[in-house]
Each structure stands twice: as C-alpha cells, then as structure tokens.
Structure 1
Amino acid sequence: MPDQTPQTHPTPPSAPSTKPDRTKNRTKSTGRKALIVGSVVVGAVALGELTGWPFLRDPLEQQIQSRTGMDITLDGRYRTRLLVSPMMSVERITLGAGGGVVVPHLLKANNLAVQWRWSDVWRASKGETLRVKSLQADRIDAHAVRLKSGAASWDILPGDPEEPTPPKAEPAPLPEIERLVLREGEVEFRDEMLDIALNATIRRSSEADDKLPWQATAEGRYRDAPIELQAQASADLPLLLKTVNSAPLTPLRLRGRIGSTELAFDGAAGALWTGQGVKGQLAISGDSLQASAAPLGVTLPETPPYRLKAQVVRQGSTWTVVSDEATVGSSSLTANLKFQTDVQPPRLTGALGGARLALADLAPAVGADKPPRRSDRVLPDEHFDVPSLGQMDADVQVDLKQLDFGTPTLAPVQDLKLHLQLANSRLALSDLSARVAGGALSGSTAFEVKGEVPQWEAALRFAEVDLDSWIRGLSKDDAKDAKGGQPDARSYMSGTLDASAQLKGQGRSVAEILGSANGQLQLRVTDGQLSQLVTEAAGLDAAQALGMLVKGDEPLKLNCAAVDAVVQDGVVKSRHAVLDNADSTLRMQGGLSFKSEAIQLRVVSEPKDFSPLSLRSPVTVGGQLKDPAVGIEAKGLLARAAGALALGSVAPPAALLAFIDVGHNADTMPCAPTPRSEARKASVPAPRKAP
C-alpha cells in the first residue's frame, strides 16, 4: 500500500525587515535636531543673558508702546536680564505720559536700573497694580498728573489726547515700588480729583558721615492750603516708597506746614507713600483740629488752636496715636486712639481722657464762637458740618477729670464719663455720668443726619445737686453777720436740686434745634434756704426790704421750689412754677420762645405776713433773651395808687393804708403739681420782625 502521508516542504526564510530601523533612525534624527535646536536656544539665551540682550532694545520699545500707548525711548548703554533676577538698565530713558494727559513726559531718567518679578507682571496683566521690585536712578524728572476725569499720566491703557476720557469709577493706582533709590530728581505731583499740587526736589548729600543723606523738599497746595515740607532719610527713599509690611524701617525726619498746621516727625518709615510701617514721635499744632484732620479723612470738631505731642505707629492699615500731652485751647487732654483705613468708612476707636476740658473749646463745633447773623439774637445759628459725620465711624470712651463751663457762675463738673459712637451719620453720647456739686449728672444725647433735616434728642437728669455750690452766681460776695447774732444769708438761694429734661428737635444749628424742640422740663429744690431780701423784693415789700438792708439779710427756710414746663415747637410754657418759704409764695406764669427768643414771664408774690408798706404788684420779665426787660405790672400799682389818692383826699395819713398788706392764707401744698386742665395758659409773644 502506497504511503499516503503528505509531504511537507520547508518554508524558505523571509527577508529581514528594515521598518524598526527606519523609526529608530528618525527618532534619533529628531532628537539630534531638538538637541541642536535646544542647544542653540540655550546658547542664544545664555548669550543674551551674558550680553544683556542688546538686540531687544527696539522690539522692547515697540512692545511697550503698543501695549501701553506710551512713547518710550531707550538711549545709550542698555542691558537686560530676563531669567535670574530679571532687570533692565539703561543710560537714558524717556517714558511718555499715558491716559491722554498732556505733560512733557511721565518719566525721564539717567542711569536707570529696574528689577521686577515675572509673577508680578502676570498679575498686572490681569488688572492688579503693577509692583516693581527695585528702581534706582542717578536723576529723574517725573510728572505724575491725574485729571478731574480720572485720566492719569501713569495709565497703561492707550489714550487719545484729542478725545475726552470718560470719568473712571476707580482712580488709576500708581505702580508699587518696593525699593527706590535716587541721587537727585524733580517730581511734579498734581491730582485734580483730590485738588492737590506738589513740586518736589530730591537731593543726596555728598557727606560720607551724613546719617540722613537723602533730602527732599516739597512745595504746593492742598485745596486752598499751602504746603511746605522738608524730609531727610537714610539711603532709601521712603517719601515715594511702596513696600511690603516686612520691609525694614528707614530713619526719617520730617518738618513742614500744611495750611495753618505745623508738624514735626522724628522716627522711621518703611512706606511713607502708603503710610505702612511708620513709627516715631510726632509734634503737631494748628488753628483747629478739624482743619488738620480733614486731609486724613478724620472727622474731628472745630476747635481753638491746639498742640499735640504723641507716639505714632502704623502697622498695615492701622494708625495708633498715644499722647499724654495734648492741649486744645485751655483744655488739657490725653489720647490712646486707633484709626483704621482698610474699612469704609474709616473707623476711630480708643479712649480720650485728660485733666480738664473747657466747654468753650468745643464752642466752634456748634457755632457758639461766632455771633448770630441777627444782632438781636443770642442762640448760635452757625450750621454744623453735617456731611463730615458720614466720613468716619467712631467708638471712643471718654473719661475726663473735669469739665469746665468756662464761666465763674457755674462750678466745673467732675469725673465726666461717656461713650461716644459715630456710625451711619449718627453721633451718640451715651452712658453719660458725672459728679456735680455733691450730686450726679446722667443721661444721653444723639444727633443723626436722617433725611433732609438732622434730628436731635437728649435725656438728662440731675440728682441731689447742692444748688448754691454748683451755681456760684447764687452766692453773695458781701455776706455778713446780721444784727442780733443771726447769720446773714450766704447765698440768695440754696438747697438740693433734682431736675430732668427730655427734649427732641431738628435742624442744622443750635438755634434751629431749640426753635423746633418738643419735650418737658422738671425741677425740684428741697432742704434749702432763700434770701429774705429776694423774697421781699419779688413781692415789692418796701418796708421789709429796707429792714433787711439795715439789720441784715436773714435766710428763710425754703419749703419747696418746683418747676414743671412743657416745650412745644420751641416754646417753653410753664405748667406749674412755684417757690415757697415762710414769708411768701412766689408763682411764675408765662414762657419763653426759642424761635423768636422772646420772653414773657409774670411773677406773682403771695405774702404770708403783715407789711405796712407794700406795693404788691406782679413783677414782669419781657423783651428778648439778649436784652430782657424787668418791670412791674402797671394795673396793680394803679389800683393801689388810686386807693391811696382816695384815702388821701379824706385824710393825708390815710393814704398809707392802701399800701398795707395783711398777708394771705398759707397754701399747705404750694409745690404740688397743678393738673394740666387747671394750668394757666402761657402767653408768649410772637416773633419780632427782623429790622
């Protein structure tokens, strides 16, 4: 049987493949090319770094001009480093102004060297403020100008001088310079939005041992106030410096005048441009705290001339002022205050104290230092600086040893404490407490700019005040012992005073507020004495008054004195006003208008004793606050005179019978409040027409 096994033939070997070899060859070739290109690039970069990239001068000028709209010219020696510690130095540079502002140039400098970080450049391209690491120059000539429209010569956006620039919501920020060193220069700084114009001259002393070689002077104005400043510092330039908070402080000495404000600073600064890192002794004086604080955005009252010596520190955006020596007018004060500028509005906190505050030194703040516009008025009508209340917030604790009213008539208030708060244009004085002649004063008051017309309110209370110790005008300078060993009255009136006032008003001046006031007043005097001479004089008891002058003014026990008045639309109306002693009861009717400053009061005496010679006619007080007129009600005198004439026609001695007063029955409760329904209506004259 034949063999059926199939025969197999060996497969011939295939030809070797060349594809992997070609791929490897291409990879090697590409790698060699990349290496060559990389080497060339690295070499070119290294060569550029070593040679200072001289061929980038023209492209750099073109790029800066196209991206900023500013003309730039680089002349003379030029060198740039782009990798490690990027920098550029040039013998002469001229940088044109941006923002369409017409000035000779923004910057012209000789031997300029500038350093930067690429990370800062990247952030600036995203809209942040440009930060420069270092800027040095032998000489600069700069014109930093911002127009009312907001356009600034340092704007990096293209601008067309022929086209008006739309107003900006935010002012263009100046570049931040961490370190700036100059030998000399001229700088014009003009900001029409802030209404400030300065021309500064910078010089560097050639003396080798000069500890403060850098010197600068600046002259110009802020609004209408002239400015003169002189500064000395060490090697760096803190006057134009912007820096990080960790920068070392540079010794600095500053002297100058801004308007009527004189200042002297000895200390150190790390960034005077922004105020960061300031520490030293400040001496400042001026015509008014308000005028001196206004440029800083701080709301302070208008005051008499002041002088302040303080330790001043600024860390970041917070100023700290500590002073143990501050005088305002005749006041002696201390302060420990902090002022924060990183919040809107800025905020003032801390404590204010001192040995003495004279109320007269605050008179300019309420217009009391100027006469009213009408010559027949006495209430201050100068308008308050209402807009300034919205420029700042405040939270200050006040602790004064003495508050002096500035008049010998009133004794000073002792240990005055209060909490001052200013927020949302509302000034509040709360937790008010003080010692007053053995008694106490407490209360609160507030002034708020609400709507078109500011609102005012006050609630005050006097408790257990020794009346004649506080109101010195009640004391008698010529007191003597009465005949018979009885002591003469040492004061016209004494006793323990309790009083309260609740008032509300509106307006922009003291006159407007009181002229619109509403509220109530209450007063009680107990455990006191009243001059008998005053009692008899008020009752027009001639016989007994003459007797007091001869034998001495014996004090009479004061049973009570009470005043209950209502204030309506600026008119004070007495509901119940009485003064009672063993001799007489005096009742007062009428009122006072703060609107017209007119007075119409009527004092009626009800004697309790017999008198052989008494006119017994009501005493009247009329006229104006500035010129009150005291008189006697005519009809009472006419009635007694008519009676005297009738009796005298019968028998001349009988005419005296008309002036005899046998007295009235004593009221057992004369000081008890009178019901409103039974209270006599006050008659207040209408305002007099202005002359």
Structure 2
Amino acid sequence: MKKTVPLIAGAVVVALVATVVALDIAGWPGLAPRLAERAKYGLKVDPDTRVHLIWRPRLEAPQLRVVGTNGDTLADAHDVVMAWRWGDIWDWRHGAPLRLRVVQADSLALDWQRDAQGRTAWPLKPDADGHHEPTPVPQIDKLVIHNGTAHLDDAPLQLLGDARFGTEADGRWKAEVKGKLRGQQLRMNAEASKGMALLSPAESGDPPVQLKLEMTQGPQRLAFNGSASSLLDARALDGQLQVRGSSLAAVAAPFGVTLPNTPAFDLAGRLQHAAGVWQLGDVKAQIGKSRLGGDFAFDTRAARPQLSGMLRGGPLRLADLGPAVGTDAPPSRPGRVLPDRAFDIPSLKAMDAQVGVALTQLDLGTAALEPLAPVNASVVLDGGVLTIKHMNAGVAGGEVGGLVKLDSNPNPAQWQANLDLRGIAIERWLKLHVAALTDDPITGRVQGDIDVTGQGRSTAALLGSLDGPVRLRLENGSVSHLITEAVGLDVAQGLGLLFRGDKNLTLNCARLDGRFVNGVLRPRTAVIDNKDSRIDLDGRVSLADESLDLRVVAKPRDFSPLTLRAPVRVQGTLADPRIALEGKKLGGRAIAALALGALTPPAALLAFIDPGDSDLPAVDCSLAPRDGSAPAAKPAAKPAPKPAPAARKEDNRG
C-alpha cells in the first residue's frame, strides 16, 4: 500500500503535466476568448484563437479586434501572431510600456487616437479608478504586416493622416503617410531593408537595418538615407540627411520648431541618434547667398534640451536672416526709419545652448558698410538668458570685441552691450562717395568704448531705450577740406576748392564723448579739429522719437575774405532732417552789411570778412576712463601770439 501511493501521485503529476502540455500544444481551445473577455482590455478574439503559454508564449488568432472604451473598433487584424515574454508582461503590469516581441498579421486596419492630454481610447492601462493615464506607444520589436492601413489622429503630436504600410515577400518594408503635421500638409514615404521595430528599448540589441525616408510638403523636402534599429524612437540612427525648401520657417513649422523666414536653402549632413542625443555633423548649408557649416549635438535627456556645437563657414549675410534680426520690413509708423518689427527669434526658454562661432565673413547687408571678417564668438543660452561673449570681429583692418547679452525673462526683454572698437579704418568701413569731395572724405582709425543697456523686442524699441556712455576717437585721421569750409560757411574758400579740387586736411583731433539716457544721446564733447578750423557740436539726438536738435559751430583759424560764419542748426527727424543757419549771428552780419552798404555798396562785403583766430587752442583728444565721467575738452597752454593772418604763408590758408 505504501509503495502504491507515490506511484499514484507520480502518475497523477505525469498525467497533469501531459494534459497541460497537450492543451498548450493544442493552444488551449476556448481559453483565449474567455481570458480576453475577463481581462477587460477591449480584446475580441475569434473562437478558434489559440494561445500558447509555456514554450514560446504567443497568440495565434484568425481574427483579433481591439474595441475602445468608446465602443469603436480601434484595430481589426486577420491571421495574427503575437509573441511575448512573461517578464515583459510582468513589467507592463507594474507600469512599464507594453512590449511585444513579434506582431505579425496578414492584414491590419488600425485607428490610433490620442487626445490633447495624451489619453487614448485604447484600453491598455486602466488605473484603479477606471481612468486612463497617458499611454505610451507599445514597443514592438518585430512588426510584419503584409497589408496594413492606419488612420492617425494624435493630438500631442498634432498628427492627422492616413497610412498604408506592408512587408513584401522579400522582407522589405514600405510605408506611405498622407496628412497634416502641426497643420501643415505633408507626405511621407519610408522603406526599410527588412521589418524593423517601431520602438526599441536600449537592452534589445536589435541590429540596425537599412532605412530610407522622404518627407515632402509643397517645395519643402526632407530625405534620410542610412540605418536604424527602430522607426519611431530612431534608435541607432545613422545616415545622410538632406533638407531643402523655400524657407527655414516653412520646413520647421510641421515639427513645432520656430525658425526665421529666409530665402531658399539647402542643408546636408550626417545625422546620428543614440540614447536621446542627436548629432548633426559635417554640415554644409546654403541659405540664400550665405554658406555655412559645422557640427552640432542636441541632448534631449534633460528637462530643458541642450544644443552644443560649432558654427563655421562664411559668408553669412544678415539679409538672409532679415526677419530674425527685425530688419526685413520698413517701419510700420510713418516718418520713422528705425525698424520696429519684433525680433523673430525662437523661444529662449525652450532650451539651453553653448555654440562656438567661427565665420570667415559677416555681411551686414549694405554696400555702405564693409563686411566683418573674420567673426569669432561663443553663444551661450542658459535659462532664457542669451549671451554672446568672447566676441572678436575684424572690421576694416581693426576689430570689435566685447559682450552682448539678452535676458528674455523680464518683460520687456533686457539688453546689454559692452563693446571695444580698436583700429577700425573709417574710410573702409563707411564707404562714402560724394561728388566734388575726395574719394575718402573722412579717414582715420576709430578707437572707442560703448557700454549701453536697453529693453524691447525690436530695433526701434531697443535703440529708443538706450542708457550708457559712448566714447569714440578718430586717430591719424583726415577730413575733406571742402566739408570743413562748408560747415564754416566759408563761401570764398569753398568756391576755390570747387574749382581747384578737394583735398583732405590732417586732423589734430576728432572725438565724441556722450551718454545715452532713455534713448537720447547728449554729447559732452564732440569736436573735429584740424589746422584750418575747429568744429564743435552740441545738442541732442533722440532715438526714442527719432528727433534731432544739434548745433554745429565752426571756429576758423585762417583768414577768409567772404564767409557767413554762422552756427548751423540740424533739426527735424532722422527721416526728414532740416538744416538751417542760426539767425542771431547771421542777422548781426546782415545789419552790419546794410550799414556799410549805405556808405558805399562795395563796403557791404567788409561785414563778411573773417580774420580767423590763429590763437585758437588745440584740443585734448584723449578718451575718458571707461568707468568715469568724461571730462570736458581742455585747452592746451596758449601759444605765443602769431603774426596777423595776412602775413601767414599761403599754405596755411584754407
């Protein structure tokens, strides 16, 4: 009796195991429909469905449907095979995305929908209260659908379209999507050398397969030719990218990225992606007439993505990025010249960045200004604060260095510029061509410091709110003799120069020392001094309302037989300046001329004779310390009296 009990127990166990194995081989007839009904995950399976739970867990169904929480059929597949591992099911039940090792079907009609909160009618992940949390897209390692269609309505992705896809007999996979992405009509074609995963976890180790992708939207085209391990999350992506279109803004709009409106462009480079880091290397880009290149990385793993890399190339023309710097349209306000269009720049709080810049040339977009060459800088974006530092730009044989900063956190945005100007040849940078003047009416090397702050989102608002000092000096300079005489209203010498031809006079000093206050520049010292005359300027220039109120006074050192010698007033606006003579001094000369003319008409000319002031002191042309207030112009020690003007040599006359 004692010996038969173990035998009976063993026989029962063997019978049970054999029964379980037999049932598993048979596919547990009737089990799948009952499990699907009890699971309450919207699964509706054919009564002949077979499920294998022991060896290579899988489901084989003549037909399988997924019914959503709203009662609609979300998926309808025929001749379905689904394979999984029990560890994946355990992870899914504990919050991980659902992972299926194989999904294969002869045909599939799919309806994928997610609302703005990421919720879907797909009943994949109900919580304890019966609500549906935002549902991750299922991870499918191997997807083989011979004939598939899908309707896509995904609010978080702003995707609305229809797709056709399938795996051909040779294993190649093709897909076509037509619809709208972020409101933009587009068409996408994709082709892979064999079936590939939609999503692939890092530990899957799936080898990359050849992938071709082309997306078009009107004249915009994006093409990729390379390899990847998965389609939707682009794991192990590596290949050549080409993007071309009518504008950067038009291409970026479907992806929710804000870029400026530009001329037509063409970009090519090597695109790679691994573990949330996108890299675009060996970039060659043409935007309008600009030529750019570089290497960049975009790290999406942090809460705020990080862009890093190096921008190279040249020339870069500001005209090709006009809307990005607010210069593409005339001012909207009549009678104004400063552009008031808001800067069209990406959201500065959307990401951080650290990008080096090394350009061979930066074209300012006007024939009146020489391009900057070369241009080197570091661009740092951190928490909405954009800083351009370590800036060094070659300008007409000299350089501009310093720092520019924009803080987008306050409203309006706050700007800061600290610039050093060293050795800039003004005759090269400012290209002035005026009939009757010398080829270069103003020459010399500009030295200076600019330390200003401002606020606003347009050029007009920024300049109209400037505060801070401006110090400029022209070294080893010269100025047109005709300009000097014209400012001094010296008729006789001006006429002589028109007949003889203009020439430049060496400058003793040319200096501007002033301060912006709320967009208004008031010179503390503004002087041009040469052997012929000293010209002083005072008054105000307002960039806030674009008004002018300047007084120009010429103090000649030489004798002139016919001159008006009255201060010149420059008033009006930047768009409509008005130049007039100051009436008080001119009126005095006119009264004197009338009185002398009453005696004898030729005597009236005596009122317009000016002996000049040969004892006029020289000017201190040194710049004030950067952190101190600028001193007024100091006269040098008064020289010994010189002979009367008539006795001076001819070459000292204007």
Q: 1:672 to 1:230 in 2, by over 3 A?
A: closer
| 2:155 equivalent to 1:192 | yes
CA-CA distance at 1:290 after TM superposition: 4.6
Correspondence for 1:79 among 45, 50, 55: 50
Q: What TM-score, normalized to structure 1?
A: 0.85
- Find the partner of 1:56 among 31, 34, 41: 31
Structure 1: gaps of 5 or more residues:
1-21, 480-488, 680-691
Q: Equivalents in 2 of 1:183, 1:606: separation in Å?
A: 93
Moved more, 279-288 or 343-352: 279-288
- For residue 597 of structure 2, the aligned residue among 648, 660, 672 is 648
Deviations 1:479-537 (A, max 9, x none): 7xxxxxxxxx4310101110211111122222222222211111000111111011011
Aligned to 2:493: 544
2:273 aligned partner? 314
Please say if residues 304 and 364 of structure 1, whose CA atoms lie closer than 8 Å, have aligned partners that are also in contact.
no
Partner-residue secondary structure (3-state), 2:16: helix
Q: What is the 5 A alignment of 1:187-226?
A: 187-205=150-168, 213-226=172-185
Partner of residue 503 from structure 1, selected from 408, 433, 452: 452
Q: 2:550 matched to which residue of 1?
A: 601
Native 8 Å contact 2:259 2:345 kept in 1: no
1:105-163: CA deviation from partner (whole Å, max 9, x where unpaired): 22111111111111111011111111111111121111111112432123424599xx9
Shift of 1:299: 6.2
The whole-number CA distance in structure 2 between the counterparts of 1:549 and 1:164 is 94
Give the structure 1 partner of residue 364 of structure 2: 405
Q: 1:669 aligns with which of 616, 619, 640?
A: 619
Q: What's the CA shift for 1:255?
A: 1.9
Which secondary structure state, in structure 2, belongs to the residue aligned with residue 339 of structure 1?
strand
> 1:59, 1:581 → 2: CA distance?
104
Partner residue, 2:537 = 588
In structure 2, which of residues 228, 240, 244 is the aligned counterpart of residue 269 of structure 1?
A: 228
Query: For 1:534-570, what per-residue CA distance to the aligned partner results, in whole angstroms no more than 9, with x for missing partners?
Result: 1011111111111111111121111110001101111
Partner AA of 1:231 in structure 2: A
Choose from 131, 140, 156 the match for 2:99: 131
Match for residue 141 of structure 1? Answer: 109
1: CA distance, partners of 2:157 / 2:66 = 25
What is the CA-CA distance between 1:443 and the residue it aligns to?
Answer: 0.6
Q: Is the 8 A contact 2:75 2:110 kept in 1?
A: yes
User: Taking structure 1 as reference, are residues 631 and 478 closer, same or farther at Cα in structure 2, changes over 3 Å only?
Assistant: closer
- After superposition, the C-alpha distances for 1:420-467 in whole angstroms (9 at most, x for unaligned) are 111101111100012222212111111112233321111111111222
1:580, 1:670 within 8 Å by CA — same for their partners in 2?
Answer: no
Partner of 2:189: 230
- Give the CA deviation at 1:353: 0.4
Give SS of 1:389's match: coil
Query: 2:652 maps to what in 1?
Result: none
Assess, with a 3 A threshold, how the Cα gap between structure 1 residues 260 and 635 changes in structure 2: closer, same or farther. Answer: farther
Instruction: Compute the displacement of 1:38 (Å).
Output: 2.2
Q: Secondary structure at the match of 1:129?
A: coil
- In the TM superposition, 1:98-497 aligns within 5 A as 98=69, 100=70, 104-158=72-126, 171-205=134-168, 213-237=172-196, 240-242=198-200, 244=202, 246-258=205-217, 261-293=220-252, 300-384=259-343, 388-473=347-432, 489-497=438-446
Q: Match for 2:174: what amino acid?
A: Q
Larger Rg: 1
Q: Aligned-residue CA RMSD in angstroms? A: 2.7
TM norm structure 2: 0.90
DSSP-derived class of the 1:276 partner:
coil
- Determine if contact 1:341/1:347 at 8 Å carries over to the other structure: yes
Contact 1:494 1:530 (C-alpha < 8 Å) held by counterparts: yes
Overall identity of the aligned pairs, in % = 36
Aligned in 2, Cα 1:573/1:155: closer, same or farther, shift over 3 Å?
farther
1:94 matched to 2:65: yes
Measure how far apart 1:581 and its partner are. 0.6
Any gaps of 5 or more consecutive residues in structure 2?
634-654
Provide, for residues 260-307 of structure 1, a one-character-per-residue CA deviation record: whole Å limited to 9, x for no partner.
Answer: 632122222221201222222111123443554465566655544321
Give the C-alpha shift of residue 51 in structure 1: 1.0
**In structure 2, what is the Cα distance between the partners aligned to 1:29 and 1:569?**
107
State which drifts further: 506-515 or 80-89.
Answer: 506-515
1:666 aligned partner, one-letter code: L
Query: C-alpha distance in 1, partners of 2:240/2:76?
Result: 36
Alpha-carbon distance in 1 for matches of 2:380, 2:453: 19
Q: Secondary structure at the match of 1:90?
A: strand
After superposition, what is the alpha-carbon deviation per residue over 1:70-105, rounded to whole angstroms, capped at 9, x for unaligned?
2x221265222212221111111111124x5x7x32
Q: In the alignment, which of 531, 556, 561 is matched to residue 480 of structure 2?
A: 531
Question: How much has 1:37 moved relative to structure 2?
Answer: 3.6
* Cα deviation code 1:367-420 (max 9, x no counterpart): 221232212222222233577111111111110011111111111111211001
Q: 1:145 to 1:672 in 2, by over 3 A?
A: same
CA distance in 2, matches of 1:283, 1:673: 53
Is the 8 Å Cα contact of residues 124 and 135 (structure 2) preserved in structure 1?
A: no
Shift of the alpha carbon at 1:194? Answer: 3.7
SS at match of 1:47: helix
Deviates more, 1:291-300 or 1:569-578: 291-300
Contact 2:258 2:346 in 1 (8 A): no
Structure 1 residue identity aligned to 2:478? Q
Task: Give the Cα–Cα distance (whole angstroms) in 2 for the partners of residues 387 and 349 of structure 1.
Answer: 16
Other structure's SS at 1:534 match: helix
